[in-house]
Amino acid sequence: MNHRFSDIFRAHRGKVSDKWSSYLPVYDELFSPFRMSPIRLLEIGVQNGGSLEVYSKFFPNHEKIVGCDIHPLCARLDYINPRIQVVVGDCNADATRDRIFAASDSFDLIIDDGSHRSDDIIRSFLTYFPALTGGGAFVVEDLSTSYWRAFDGGLFHTRSSMSFFKLLIDVIHAEHWGVEVPAHELITRDFPHYGALAACVGLQSIASIAFHNSMCVIRKCETPDQQSLGARIIRGTDPTVVDVRHWDGTGPIRSDERGNPNSRF
């Protein structure tokens, strides 16, 4: 009996799915804690629809698996399993978004394997991350395209999807900036056209961001607004060099950086 996602994927027959081999161990680790949960999963870009079948096999207690694809032939994808649903349309169009949310108003796992164009990737992250449940993960596949001109990218392109996700590294450290600026302003500084979306996305609930080759995994905090270094924990009774025990239980160090020219917005 296979329990690893990679084994189930490699053994899959039926509708076709297309994933890079280096993604599979990432999914093994990411998906395993969710395996027996009644998960709700959204995949943007399903093409031949095989990935939805693989997810349904790997998560036997799934509540809902929703796929979205702009290709009209995806309307022909049919599944005996009524818990798999395909929404045909542009994931970033209001009408499509409404149909996705009608299928499920929240998701534990969201995978963007859609157009791979920077604008679409950023827009779908800002649109669907708010619908991610606490402890859930948002995965973006094929970020290799962010380096390619044909996908509006380039190594030093400041508005590429990769540049956007790199900014989220600073966002999860917002409490250490030492300047009184809301986290979303870091995004709107380089990406002004996402202003309203960026302000509403709930950036303070991003727990972590991890990069793999061409893949980014953004995890949400278990509870809203939980993002913080937390309290200092000091244990042990023998401080031979420096006695730091009085710091036990204290919060993050605050540094006022408002006068720092390298921290100016």
Of 6, 9, 17, 201, the one binding ligand SAM (CB under 6 A) is: 17
113 binds ligand SAM (CB under 6 A): yes
Count of residues that interact with ligand SAM, criterion CB under 6 A: 22
Name beta bridge partners: 44.
Answer: 68, 112
> What does residue 159 show for φ and ψ, rounded to 5 degrees?
-110, 20
Query: Is 120 among the residues that bind ligand SAM (CB under 6 A)?
Result: yes
In the complex with ligand SAM, which residue's Cβ is closer, 108 or 120?
120
Task: Provide CB contacts within 8 A for 156, sequence distance 6+.
Answer: none
Q: Is 12 a residue that touches ligand SAM (CB under 6 A)?
A: no
Give the C-alpha separation, 194 to 184, whole Å: 10
Select from 54, 120, 45, 112 the least CA-distant residue to 81: 54
Q: Which of 50, 77, 136, 204 binds ligand SAM (CB under 6 A)?
A: 50
- Report the site for ligand SAM in 62-81 (rule: CB under 6 A): 68-71
**Pairing of β 107-112 and β 132-140:** parallel
d(CA 131, CA 109) in angstroms, rounded, equals: 10
Q: Is 214 in the site for ligand SAM (CB under 6 A)?
A: no
Is residue 100 within the footprint of ligand SAM (CB under 6 A)?
no
Q: Does 114 bind ligand SAM (CB under 6 A)?
A: yes
Q: Which of 173, 199, 202, 172 is nearest to 184 (CA)?
A: 199
**Applying CB under 6 A, which of residues 66, 84, 86, 91 lies at the interface with ligand SAM?**
91
Distance CA 40, CA 23 (A): 20
Q: What is the dihedral of CA 150, 156, 162, 165, to 10 degrees?
A: -150
Strands (E), the chain: 40-44, 64-69, 84-88, 107-112, 132-140, 206-212, 215-220
Nearest approach in angstroms of CB 42 to ligand SAM is 11
Q: Please, which residue, 8 or 172, has the CB nearer to ligand SAM?
A: 8
Is there binding between residue 90 and ligand SAM (CB under 6 A)?
Answer: yes
Nearer to ligand SAM, 43 or 108 (CB): 43
How distant, in Å, are the alpha carbons of 32, 172, 251, 253 from that of 230?
A: 27, 13, 6, 10
Q: How many CA atoms lie within 13 A of 35 on its CB side?
A: 12
Residue 84 interacts with ligand SAM (CB under 6 A): yes or no: no
Quote the least distance from Cβ 111 to ligand SAM, whole Å. Answer: 7
Is 19 a binder of ligand SAM (CB under 6 A)? Answer: yes
**136 counts as binding ligand SAM under rule CB under 6 A:** no
Query: Which residue's Cβ has the minimum distance to ligand SAM?
Result: 45
**Smallest gap from residue 44 Cβ to ligand SAM (A):** 5
Q: Taking CB under 6 A as the rule, does residue 152 contact ligand SAM?
A: no
Interaction site with ligand SAM (CB under 6 A): 17-19, 43-48, 50-51, 68-71, 90-92, 113-115, 120
